[in-house]
Amino acid sequence: MSLSWNTKWRWNTTYSADSVEWCPIEPYRDVLVCGTYQLDNKEQEQTSPKQKRIGRIYLFVINDNITEISPIETIDTPGILDQKWSQWPIQNHPTLATVTSDGTLQLYRLIDNNGKLSLKFWFDHMVGENVLALSHDWSTNKTRSEEPTMVVSDSSGTVTVMKLIGDNIQSLGTWKAHEYEAWIAAFNYWNTDLFYSGGDDCVFKCWDVRMADVAVAVNKRHQAGVTTVRSHVDKEHQLLTGSYDEKVRLWDCRNLKTCVTDADVKGGVWRLKWHPNKSDIILAACMYGGFRILRANEELDVICEYMDHESIAYGADWKQDASSIVATAGTSTQDYGFAQQQTERADDGTRAGREQFVSCAERRVGGRRARQLHATDSILTSSLQLPSVASPPRPVASAVGGTNSVLVLSETNIFPY
User: Where residue 25 sits, what CATH number does that domain have?
Assistant: 2.130.10.10
pLDDT tens digits, 202-244: 999 999 999 988 999 999 999 999 999 999 999 999 999 999 9
Q: Which residues contact 380 (CB under 8 A, 6 or more apart)?
A: 7, 9, 10, 11, 309, 399, 400, 401, 402, 408
Contact 86, 93 (CB under 8 A): no
In order of 37, 193, 384, the CA distances from 324 in angstroms are 27, 31, 8
Does residue 348 lie in a domain region? no
The sign of the dihedral angle between the CA atoms of 212, 217, 219, 225 is: negative
Tell me: the pLDDT tens digits for 277-293? 889 999 999 999 989 99
**Per-residue confidence (pLDDT) for residue 405, from 0 to 100:** 23
Considering the domain boundaries, does residue 347 fall inside one?
Answer: no
Total number of domains in the chain: 1
Domain of 314 in residue numbering reads as: 3-341+353-414
Per-residue pLDDT, 383: 57
pLDDT greater than 60 at residue 398: no
Residue 203 CB contacts under 8 Å (≥ 6 apart), including other chains: 178, 218, 219, 220, 222, 226
Q: Does 319 reside within a domain?
A: yes
What is the mean predicted confidence (pLDDT) over 112-119? 96
Distance, CA of 286 to CA of 241 (rounded, Å): 12
362 within a domain of the structure (yes/no): yes
- For 130-168, write each residue's pLDDT tens digit: 999 999 999 999 999 989 999 999 999 999 999 999 999
Is position 63 within any domain?
A: yes
Contact 380, 402 (CB under 8 A): yes
Asked, for residue 157, whether it belongs to a domain, the answer is yes
**Is 104 part of a structural domain of the chain?**
yes
In a domain, 346, yes or no: no
**What is the Cα–Cα distance from 410 to 219, expressed in whole angstroms?**
40
Distance CA 415, CA 104 (A): 45
270 or 361, which is more confident: 270
pLDDT in tens, 286-320: 999 989 999 998 899 999 888 876 678 898 888 88
> pTM for this structure?
0.84
